[in-house]
Chains A and B, each alone.
Chain A
Amino acid sequence: MNELNHCNILIIDDTEANIDILVDTLGDDYEVSVAMDGESAIEDVRTNPPDLILLDIMMPGIDGYEVCRRLKADEKTKDIPIIFITALSQVEDETKGLKLGAVDYITKPISPPIVKARVENHLELKQARENLERQNNILQENIHLREEIDRISRHDLKTPLNSIISIPRILLQDSRRLAPDQVELLEMIEQSGHIMLNMINLSLDMFKMEKGSYKLNPVPLNILSIIKKILFALRSLTDSKEIKFNLFINDLADNIRSASDCDIFGVLGEELLCYSMFANLIKNAVEASSNSATVTIKLFSKSSENEQVKIVIHNKGVVPASIRDNFFEKYATAEKKGGTGLGTYSAKLMAQKLGGEISMSTSEVDGTTITVTLKYSEMDRTEISDSAILSKTSSAVKEIIFNQSSVDCSLPQPQLPQLRIMVVDDDEHNQLILKKYLNYPEFDIELADNGQAAINKFKERNFDLIFMDMEMPVMDGIEAVSLIRKWESEKPNRGENAIIIALSGHDDPNTCQNCLDIGFDAYLSKPVNSRQLREIILKFFKNKNQVEIDADLEDLIPSFMGDKKSEIEQIQEVIRKSESPFLTENGYQMIQKLGHKLKGGFNMYGFKDQGSLGSAIEEAAKQHDFQAIKNSLNLLESSLSDIQIRYVNID
């Protein structure tokens, strides 16, 4: 209790005999000061607050109760513990003192051991309380800090990043006006933006894992197909370095053989986490390899004694000595251009989250080997679904996957309906980007800076469609939408309700559901691209799917449609027959030809939207973009399902 030595104790009493006893009792252990009346005591406490007060009740001038009441009423002095000194006959009255906020009382005649013990107790209590308060403050600060990080990375960073990613894309749409080196530079800006976006998303997931708030939903996965997807996504990097991959499976009987397309290697995990982790590790292995080297990935089936599988990634590079010991630690990086030191760290977090382990060994002779263990899972063929990877929102991986296809902006431009659109966003750049994306002659676009401005405009004239940011000054998106919906319900004769689409930096399912509950029709996570905008517009306004066709062709249309539907079915057949999320070379070629036929036929007959979709299928097949093929095919099917043909005389 050494620290208590420095404690100040103020004795407030008008009786010298009492003061003497108290000073004698406490003077050796504490710094003691004395006040002989209430008024001067209060002044002393304010100028020089003690750690504890011993307070007599009966005093000339203001009494002890009043002193206590005044000290407790003052924010600055209210936390100082007060012990009343009271005559035995007044004990009954002591409840009054305790009610006023005193912590204890001591009865006269004064017993030095009791005074000592009580004073010590209360000083300790005070210190303990202060410690708790300090810790509580730190905790609250942490929570605050955490919210800050979340907010900064989600909104503050993503909003300007949206411009960085989108503006080059807008400029590139008219790439004929640009010199080749300008195109290249713009693409570099765009790519860097995507890398940054991935880092933000990744660090948010990591943050959740570090804090233990990441909720794992493990399912059986075929790790082999995930690795193949990664190899495919990395192909431009691996091609440029001419890296060769060996993919081996080591089965229970310890036979090593090359993995084939029909192999299944089941683990229990989350597809996004596994993808992210192995993408990091394999990319590192490729980057650490010299040109034309080989990277070997071996999958070891579970052994008879435990339920763990082992995945080993080997490359011939060596981890620099400076980071060998802290290879998996946060920010550990060496000599790698653009390395953040987060890749291996997050891989370790993810492996642990998945209930596995990760380790590394490296030497000049053997190169570098990363070993990951994961939980084994039974898996049969029916459980394999390539769409699973896209079914969960959030996280860096989604960006990685979507970036593959979102790069292509020269996609179909199906006929758009005439619409009045309002874009509500407080960020000027976002407004302009959306306006650019929606720059079609069919659209009449108006901008608003916040929810209140949006409502004012909305009351002046009807809008068919509103894109609404969520976080805005003056009035946010949630409030604006509830007010717009309320206004609409009070004016039943004003025609159809507007379609309102939320734009938000948050993409967790809760926020999304919350938006839909409040009155939004749909939800887009920022940054949005032009294709997403077009798709969502067509989704809500496709009832205006009417085409005008040459009356001369009326007799030909039924058999023409029959032909086209059979071509669509042939594409579906190719897709159905594929097992992995990638088609065979032959499959892509077949789809490319069928897409070409759809394009030519639809265009000639005057179905321009469908012609563009045929063209998109052809193009996607050429790019081996499986997801884009499916997207366009779905759009084509749905556009045919409710198409209305009007025959007109065209001369």
Chain B
Amino acid sequence: MENLKKIMLVDDDPSVTTLLKTKLDKTGRFNVVFTNKGKLALDLAKIEKPDLIVCDIEMPDMDGGDVARSLMDNEETKDIPILFCSSLVMPSDTKNGMIGKQHMMSKAAKFSDILAKIESMLLQNS
């Protein structure tokens, strides 16, 4: 159990967090926590200390960019890798899950691709 990686999901749409949690739980390799409020992301990250954060970009209370900046500005959370998962981009817009220097996946991408991206990011960071 101790080698389960902890993933934190941030998305205002509960149907999205539910889906990702269901699919990630199913793999048996992750411990998944989530929030539907961008503003709570920093506090939750400080408590949970996840290995990776999957974050939506367009959220009503606080957008994904601001969430990421608040995490990076904080000593406790600045090293947690962030994967943006957004419907603003299409699967064809990303290359190896990257847009520029950002880790980015489309919400329209296949789950297996999102999972592969998460695995590879965790591997890089360990």
Binding site for B on A (CB under 8 A): 550, 552-553, 555-556, 559-560, 563-564, 593, 596-597, 599-601, 603-605, 608, 611, 615, 650-651
Contact = CB atoms under 8 A, between A and B. Distances in A.
Given A597-B13, A600-B107, A603-B87, A553 B22 contact: yes
Contacts, number: 56
A557 to B, nearest CB: 10
Contacts of B23: 550, 552-553
B22 A552 contact: yes
A599 B87 contact: yes
Contacts of B18: 556, 559-560
B19 A603 contact: no
Interface string B1-32: 00000000000011110111011001000000
B60 interface: yes
A600 B13 contact: yes
B58 interface: yes
B16 A563 contact: no
A238 B121 CA distance: 52
A601 B112 CA distance: 17
Given A604-B108, A611-B108, A651-B112, A556 B19 contact: yes
B108 A603 contact: yes
Q: Which of B16, B60, B87 is most buried by chain A, counting CB atoms within 10 A of its CB? A: B87
B15 A601 contact: yes
Q: How large is the interface on B (under 10, 10 to 19, 20 to 34, 35 or more residues)?
A: 20 to 34
10 contacts: A552-B23, A553-B19, A555-B22, A593-B60, A596-B87, A601-B16, A604-B16, A604-B107, A605-B15, A650-B110
A603 B111 contact: no
A650 B111 contact: yes
Nearest to B60: A593
B12 to A, nearest CB: 8
B98 to A, nearest CB: 20
A603 B19 CA distance: 11
A596 B15 contact: no
Interface string B101-126: 00000111011100000000000000
A650 B13 contact: no
A618 to B, nearest CB: 9
B19 to A, nearest CB: 6
Nearest to B25: A552
A563 B112 contact: no
B15 A563 contact: yes
Contacts of A600: 13, 16, 56, 86-87, 107
A611 B60 CA distance: 20
Nearest to B16: A604
Contacts of B26: 552
A487 to B, nearest CB: 44
Nearest to B20: A604
A601 B60 CA distance: 16
B18 to A, nearest CB: 6
A597 B36 CA distance: 13
A559 B13 CA distance: 13
Nearest to B86: A600
A320 B14 CA distance: 66
A498 B110 CA distance: 36
Contacts of B14: 563
Nearest to B108: A603
Contacts of B107: 599-600, 603-604
Nearest to A605: B19
Contacts of A560: 15, 18-19
Nearest to B114: A604
A527 B36 CA distance: 48
Contacts of B111: 550, 650
Interface string B72-109: 00000000000000110000000000000000001110
Contacts of A597: 13
B102 to A, nearest CB: 18
A608 B16 CA distance: 15
For the complex of A and B, the 5 pairs showing the least CB-CB separation, nearest first, are: A600-B87, A603-B108, A600-B107, A604-B107, A560-B15
Contacts of B20: 604
Interface string B30-73: 00000000000000000000000000101010000000000000
A413 to B, nearest CB: 12
A596 B108 contact: no
B110 to A, nearest CB: 8
